[in-house]
């Protein structure tokens, strides 16, 4: 089936480049800001309320949306987990599914070799490397693969990975604080 038929809605972020605004309250998130399944605000900048409102009219994200990087770093994913996301997106695709079960299956499907092969074939056929909105909307999702995805098991593995990353970050911070290590 096509992704557009599987999802409630598929859209992309702005293609404009709003200027940084020191007084801005809202971040502009792009492909570089998706890291390890989460949004990384390092390198992101704030934009004006006017730019933010203009962008979210067309491409405002909601809790549960899947973000995929489409330009530059391609194929990085995260699920929006903020109740009220307070950022705008640029150069990213958004999959909005009808329910959390469909969302989780699609999230893991987008990490399969099947998806990677399809996106690599598409990328290799173009001069500039980026995924188009048309590509992600018309992505042919293999139902046989989707049906084999064990969301519960993969979610448990992801939680263990997140826990281990949190422990690593705590240890790194402890090492940085250690006066002996600073010598």
pTM higher than 0.75, yes or no? yes
Cα–Cα dist 23/49, whole Å: 9
State the maximum Cα–Cα separation within the chain, in Å, rounded to a whole number.
59
Tens digit of each residue's pLDDT (9 = 90 or more) over 8-62? 999 999 988 999 999 999 999 998 999 878 898 988 999 999 999 999 999 999 9
For residue 19, what is the DSSP state?
Answer: P
Rounded Cα distance, 88 and 14, in Å: 8
Q: Which position has the token pair 């705008």? A: 88
Distance (Å, whole) CA 68 – CA 66: 7
The SS3 of residue 32 is: helix
Task: Note the pLDDT tens digit of each residue in 60-97.
Answer: 999 999 999 998 778 999 999 989 899 999 999 999 99
């Amino acid at each position: 089936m096509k992704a557009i038929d599987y999802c409630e809605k598929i859209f992309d972020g702005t293609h404009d480049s709003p200027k940084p605004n020191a007084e801005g309250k809202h971040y502009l998130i792009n492909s570089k800001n998706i890291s390890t399944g989460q949004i990384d605000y390092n390198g992101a900048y704030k934009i004006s309320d006017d730019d933010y409102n203009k962008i979210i009219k067309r491409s405002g994200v909601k809790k549960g949306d899947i973000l995929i990087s489409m330009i530059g770093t391609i194929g990085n994913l995260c699920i929006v987990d903020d109740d009220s996301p307070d950022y705008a997106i640029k150069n990213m695709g958004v999959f909005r599914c009808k329910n959390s079960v469909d969302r989780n299956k699609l999230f893991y499907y987008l990490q399969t070799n099947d998806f990677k092969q399809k996106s690599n074939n598409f990328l290799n056929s173009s001069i500039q490397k980026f995924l188009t909105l048309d590509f992600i909307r018309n992505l042919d999702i293999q139902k046989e693969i989707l049906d084999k995805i064990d969301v519960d098991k993969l979610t448990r593995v992801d939680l263990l990975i997140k826990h281990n990353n949190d422990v690593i970050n705590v240890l790194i911070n402890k090492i940085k604080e250690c006066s002996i290590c600073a010598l």
